[in-house]
Amino acid sequence: MIYDTQEARQIDEWARTSGLPLEVLMERAGSHIATRIKERHRKTERILILCGTGNNGGDGYVIGRELIRDGFDVTLHAPFGENRSDTSIVHVHYAEAFGLVTEQPCGQYDVILDALYGTGFDPKRMNQVFEAQCEFVSEQKRQGARIYAVDVPSGVPTDHATEFKETAIRADVTFQLHAMKRSVFLTRTAPFYGESETIDIGLPTFGEWRVSPKDVTALFKREPYGHKGTYGTALLIGGSETMPGSIQLATRAALRTGVGKLQVATTALAKHGIIVQAPEAMVIDQTLPAIQEMLPSISAVGIGPGLSQEAVETWVDHLLESDVPVVLDAAALVKESYPERTAPIIVTPHIGEFARMTNQSVVSIQDDLFGQATDYAILHQVTVVLKSHVILIAKPDGGGFVISGASSGLAKGGSGDTLFGILTSLLAQHPTGDIERTLAQGAEWYARASRQVERRLHPSSLLATDVIEELGRVEL
């Protein structure tokens, strides 16, 4: 589960109105984090806990109490003064009863725990005291201290990085409470989290955005009495005389991910490559009459990779007039609006393409991936597969899935063509039902294959063709 600030507050309010005191949640959070720290550090190490005046600071008092109770060397520093949270007060007093006292930091520490702000940070609260804490923690880190953060590193925004000035605590590990936060997936804020661990505090999960389903076994299921028609027919349209390789990659990826029959509309030059590298596919002329003739027998169509701009918009218009699920990629991302239709439309831009589609800068997109993808999906009633260092799949009714952890080796030409082929193949096999979940599982399959290749090859040497060949070896 992935929460924004509002959802995090809503789950706290739900707990309170359901009879679960927030003091209990604070106890659970702090106790679990204290256990994690005990597992990683010795009692002889010096530990400093930085506590704010809100609930994040209250978590820090619980952690300090649990550590000092078990004989750890703990100093607590409250740079903003006494805690003012009603929820935290009971834990402040209880921690003091165990001998936890507020002191000024002195000397070098082995461990520093950041419990200053969490999700409660607002850029308007930036001040010299906080800036001094950031400098102090940074210097301690340079001297070898291990830095932990509670929920969100202080100074890091929870939802987007639009106003982020990069004055923040840079953690080695962040213990995210109950659910992950959006900013852990953003380019500029993710490095401040370090490693991220989610702490279960016993609440139900609900929210608009979710981490991609890790179980992809359903995509491998084959019926014992099935035939090639059982697994759909996909049509891929792409390739040109100057860019014949992209459609070949998409073709091979689609075949590797189980589509029953595959038709490819491409140019003469690309046809020769497909005949050699993917003889299982059928090739047709890249003309509108040939494409229209195929549509009645197609369960999903994908268009875009390697196409020249000539006639593309006309072809896209004809495809969108059909009742077939359509995947639009690369050169086919030309529409400013989309017609109402029952079959889904999936757009698969990378960040640069999405910036062009929305008339915004790349930075503005990167700083607000969730908001931008959601807004576009809802406005145009399409599914957005936004490709960055993570993959976001935004649903037309709000929310979606995030796929993370793919190899950095995918940051090169051909990777998007491969994903395009995978998604079109899976859409042809599963044209109804939870479309976004199927697409998320497909993207997870793709990411997992890239990680497995990375076990054998350095990311710099990883190629899209390596990932395609690995698809059938993915560990379930």
Which strand (E) or helix (H) includes residue 67? helix 55-69
Angle at alpha carbon of residue 223, lines to 217 and 226, rounded to 5°: 140
285 is in an annotated binding site: no
Q: Scanning the structure block, which residue is given the tokens 């698809």?
A: 471
Residue recorded with tokens 């395609």: 468
Q: Is residue 263 a contact partner of residue 301, using CB atoms and an 8 Å limit?
A: no
User: What Cα–Cα distance (Å) separates residue 392 from each residue in 190, 225, 451?
Assistant: 15, 36, 18
Residue 373 tokens read as 């993808």
Asked whether the beta carbons of 243 and 306 are under 8 A apart, the reply is yes
Contacts 24+ apart (CB under 8 A), 21-28: 22/55, 22/87, 23/87, 23/90, 23/91, 25/201, 25/202, 25/203, 26/55, 26/58, 26/59, 26/62, 26/87, 26/88, 26/91, 27/62, 27/91, 28/201, 28/202
* CA separation for the pair 431, 298 (Å, rounded): 11
Q: What is the rounded CA–CA span in Å between residue 232 and residue 265?
A: 17
Q: Which two tokens stand for residue 288?
A: 């509108």
Q: How far apart are alpha carbons 90 and 86 in whole angstroms?
A: 8
Q: What's the rounded Cα separation, in Å, for the pair 446 and 129?
A: 46
Cα(253)–Cα(158) distance, integer angstroms: 36
CA quadruple 164, 169, 172, 175: dihedral positive or negative? negative
Q: Tokens 């999405």, residue? A: 354
- 83 known member of a binding site: no
Phi, psi of 113, deg, nearest 5 = -110, 120
CA atoms within 13 A on the CB side of 326: 27
Contact by Cβ (8 Å): 443, 391: yes
Contact 213, 189 (CB under 8 A): no
CA–CA distance, 161 with 460 (Å, rounded to integer): 29
Tokens at residue 298, please? 């197609």
Establish whether 58 is an annotated binding residue: yes
Asked whether the beta carbons of 251 and 278 are under 8 A apart, the reply is: yes
> Hey, which residues does 75 pair with through a beta bridge?
48
12 labelled ligand-binding: no
Please tell me whether residue 214 adopts helix, strand or coil conformation: coil
Q: Establish whether 114 is an annotated binding residue.
A: yes
- Annotated binding residue 416: yes
Residue numbers belonging to the annotated binding site for AMP: 416
Residue numbers belonging to the annotated binding site for (6S)-NADPHX: 55-59, 151, 306, 350, 417
Residue numbers belonging to the annotated binding site: 55-59, 114, 151, 154, 306, 350, 416-417
